[in-house]
Structure 1
């Protein structure tokens, strides 16, 4: 069904384009709005007739889901706006905001359901159990299960946190409706009313899920770490080019799905023709734009490769710095010799959670270098890592 809908609604559109992403978002939101409205009407009817607060609450849940789908629809629409003078990086983060709004709606719904159900526990009312009730709830579970698969599939295709959140909400609905049905069946067979308790359990489950979704959708807005897979892919592509000796200081900025920008330093032989090095970096940048849609800016770091003493020093210092912590690394090492001493200048990249201050780390490194080269003055600049290790 999903593939058929894609062929109808996204026919002839480049899957790598923003237009494709917008069309997929519109498709998912429209289908979900229609399904949730139908389910809301059906559940509300049987819930009122049966006098069940949990079934009526489940109907309101579907109405809330339809509202969330409308928010998602607006999010995809706003995110598709092109860049302008005030927003040169585009409006892609509107999609993250839409996902956050959906998560907040889910959480609010769960809390309200808990409140209503607590009242039902202290003032229980009998509810009816009928074939129509069973048919509607089983049908709702089947539709919601399909919606979960549908949204999850589309969300993975376009890497959309909004659709992933919607899929999680549909999964929650399958569980909550199942609980409501089970409690209605128990009440009909034993005479014990579990309607209020079922509502509390359903509400608590929805609230917990909503809080988790809020956490997941806030993270990219705050500037989360890029995935290890993306880091590895970027580093491997840079290192695959001839003449590239190393890369460091990678930074990735996310302005919404499909709108990522990155920068990195690339080490190349300082003795090589600078025009050739510049041409290589241009080719790498164009390759990223063409193959990954990633706007990449590369900085050329020339390093000495024809001086064996400097080469051996760089290797020795890097090896011993990693003995302090294997996540440490050095780059941009250069030597400035003088009549009485030699300045050894380099940068050291540290992780944010290293259990020592910059000053303590610098002191450790300087002591290590001075022990090996007593006439060397070690000048260390401490950098922070903006990506996790891709090893």
Structure 2
């Protein structure tokens, strides 16, 4: 969670990736040229792209660590997400290049020159790539870095592609059938598939991915453990990059309680979440009517009415405004993005159910979208 520690881990992973991939790339390209194998050469070029990916990761971590400024008050931490996306596109590009080269090799196969030195180099490359994959995936998991996870997945792809090249070389030597181009095609298709999946994964935070349900639950539980808090709603979490999470929430308190005390509790909640979870929280104090029997009864009735409706997350801020000829029941309904019901249908349904109790009841509903995946 420490920004400096994250930066150092990222730089270490980038430097290690540049050095190891440079060695692997040079050795594979030389061996590939000696034995006339397009698959080995392509594998070496893939490692050269991996070196570029490591360099991009290195730069990304340095840029993400830049402090906030006037133009970017939320910081630059999203550079790390951009880095992961760039690495994903590099994987996709190398997949298409390998696909083209392998197709040409299928159409015009050239005999391979078998060598035990080639076997040894490829086996060593596989073990190095296994270590790289484990190192990047573990480091990415420890510091929550999508960029390092993408690099780790790329290393895993290299293990598969190099193993496939090794197998094709051995089979070709035993049978005399040139599998080089065909294996290259299979490896290329796998790399392209992995690149597409990684693009989806690394672009998700940039597009506004829903926050982790565990994080949402922890935020709500920490808020609700305070005695003065009656509930929470309208929680919104914005991710501006690792360690740069901003959130806003409405915290419900007793309207008849000590509002100065309640305000002090909310200030403490904001400070504690910042210190303990690294979340910049802005909380709105929402006083609730707790003594009016009609309000309590209608709260229970509305909850009962909404319970069977799919896609309704909950409701809040119910208040009753009585007039001479009718009574307005005003509240907010929170609906999930998957809700198939129209707002007009929900309003008419709720109003008809309440008017079956009292024909003078009319509802005034504000519909809110749920921006988190679970609520207390």
- Is the shorter-chain TM-score for this pair beyond 0.5, marking a shared fold? yes
Tell me by how many angstroms 1:260 deviates.
0.6
Question: CA deviation digits over 1:256-312, x for unaligned, max 9?
Answer: 111010001111111011101100100100110000000001111111112233112
Aligned counterpart for 1:349 among listed residues 334, 338, 342 = 334
Which residue in 2 is equivalent to 1:300? 285
Which residue in 2 is equivalent to 1:23? 8
Tell me by how many angstroms 1:340 deviates.
2.6
Q: Answer yes or no: is 1:51 the counterpart of 2:72.
A: no
Aligned counterpart for 2:351 among listed residues 352, 355, 366 = 366
Counterparts of 2:336 and 2:15, CA distance in 1:
44
Aligned counterpart for 2:197 among listed residues 206, 212, 220 = 212
- State the number of aligned residues: 376
Q: Answer yes or no: is 1:318 the counterpart of 2:318.
A: no
Which residue in 1 is equivalent to 2:206? 221
Q: Answer yes or no: is 1:62 the counterpart of 2:47.
A: yes
Paired residues of 1:106 and 1:206 also in contact (CA < 8 A)? yes
Paired residues of 2:254 and 2:288 also in contact (CA < 8 A)? yes
Question: CA deviation digits over 1:335-384, x for unaligned, max 9?
Answer: 11223322111000111221122122222121122222322121111111
Paired residues of 2:314 and 2:334 also in contact (CA < 8 A)? yes
Counterparts of 2:127 and 2:358, CA distance in 1:
73
Aligned counterpart for 2:323 among listed residues 329, 338, 341 = 338
Structure 1-normalised TM-score?
0.94
Counterparts of 1:126 and 1:326, CA distance in 2:
62
Question: Per the alignment, in what secondary structure is the counterpart of residue 281 of structure 2?
Answer: strand
Structure 2: 5+ residue stretches without partners: none
Counterparts of 2:356 and 2:160, CA distance in 1:
65
Paired residues of 2:251 and 2:283 also in contact (CA < 8 A)? yes
Over aligned residues, Cα RMSD in angstroms?
A: 1.1
Aligned counterpart for 2:102 among listed residues 73, 96, 117 = 117
Question: Per the alignment, in what secondary structure is the counterpart of residue 214 of structure 1?
Answer: helix
Q: Describe how 1:1-391 pairs up with structure 2 within 5 A.
A: 16-325=1-310, 327-390=312-375
Tell me by how many angstroms 1:98 deviates.
0.8
Paired residues of 1:322 and 1:328 also in contact (CA < 8 A)? no
Tell me by how many angstroms 1:230 deviates.
1.0
Paired residues of 2:10 and 2:58 also in contact (CA < 8 A)? yes
Counterparts of 2:258 and 2:302, CA distance in 1:
28
Counterparts of 1:123 and 1:147, CA distance in 2:
34
Runs of 4+ in 1 over 6 A off after TM superposition: none
Structure 1: 5+ residue stretches without partners: 1-15
Counterparts of 1:329 and 1:300, CA distance in 2:
19
Paired residues of 2:91 and 2:154 also in contact (CA < 8 A)? yes
Structure 2-normalised TM-score?
0.98
